[in-house]
Amino acid sequence: MARKCARLLLASLSIAASLGFDARAQDAAAPKSDEPPPLSAQCQAPASDIAAPEPLPNFAAVLAAKKKARILAIGSSSTFGVGATSRSRNYPSQLREILAKALKGVDVEIINRGISGEVAATTADRLRTEVALNRPDLVLWQLGTNDALSRVPPEQFEATVRSTIAWLKADKIDVVLVGLQYTPKLARDKNYEEIRDTLFKISAQEGVLYIRRYDAMRFISQARAAPVLAQDDFHLNDLGYRCMAEHVAQAVIANLFVRRFRPTSSGLLP
């Protein structure tokens, strides 16, 4: 019950943030910045379909301490940007523009290490190398689609993701999990659903910010006239990547102001 109340409170905070209220009062340590950028009309989706609030304490502390943010975007084709008309339209490039505007005065650098078609276990190996060499302040890990298609058993996928989250936490690096691609073709694929459920479960249990890309894109695909998928009906197009970047940006910025709530003897206190 207490956990549920905390979730409700967090959800309302996030919605307040997304509606444009100045949430800086929530956390004095957070950097001075504008509110999360509003979503453009084509990218509107319910907050619950984008991400459940989870704090990013380490990234917030880094932003408060220095005016430079190095973000590592790692993953597969959606990070690389298959389907975009040019690489400047992939999601990390568009995200950099949004964050640079939203986090005024912060020098935002995004390193793109998307390798198309890669399963999480291989990315997890590369992640260690990239973290050792580049020491990012925030990791955006887009994953799941290729594991589902390669039929990697969900429990094996789960073990890979959990062990990676564990060492990233121990190294005080916040990670944002960016979920599976939405495609009507795989809407009824059992493995696809299992991997999505697994990611959702991991993020909730580990307290890690998880962008529910599948749900957000499904909502947009079904509700809007403007297509977000490329001609192959699988990858995103420029607009799709724009929406993906906006969703990630909004979730990241909104959650900079969220602090972990823990039930105490006197009730729920931040």
Nearest to 189 by CA among 151, 220, 163: 151
Q: Which contiguous run of DSSP H or E holds residue 71?
A: strand 68-75
In the bound state with another protein, the residue whose beta carbon lies nearer, of 64 and 111, is 111
Q: For the chain, where are the alpha helices, taking DSSP H only?
A: 2-19, 47-50, 57-65, 77-80, 91-102, 120-134, 145-149, 154-170, 190-206, 213-223, 238-256
In the bound state with another protein, the residue whose beta carbon lies nearer, of 32 and 172, is 172
**Phi first, then psi: what are they for 31, rounded to 5°?**
-70, 155
- Cα 169–chain centre separation: 16
In whole angstroms, the minimum distance from the beta carbon of 255 to another protein comes to 22
Nearest to 92 by CA among 100, 83, 82, 80: 80
Partners of residue 51 on adjacent β-strands: 211
In the bound state with another protein, the residue whose beta carbon lies nearer, of 14 and 76, is 76
In the bound state with another protein, the residue whose beta carbon lies nearer, of 14 and 164, is 164
CA–CA distance, 112 with 173 (Å, rounded to integer): 17
In whole angstroms, the minimum distance from the beta carbon of 224 to another protein comes to 22
For residue 3, what are the contacts with CB-CB under 8 A and spacing of at least 6?
Answer: 263
Binding site for another protein (CB under 8 A): 76-77, 80, 82-83, 112-113, 115-119, 121-122, 125-126, 128-129, 131-133, 135, 145-147, 149-153, 156, 159, 163, 167-168, 170-173, 183, 185, 191, 232-235
In the bound state with another protein, the residue whose beta carbon lies nearer, of 85 and 264, is 85
In whole angstroms, the minimum distance from the beta carbon of 253 to another protein comes to 25
In whole angstroms, the minimum distance from the beta carbon of 96 to another protein comes to 14
In whole angstroms, the minimum distance from the beta carbon of 170 to another protein comes to 6
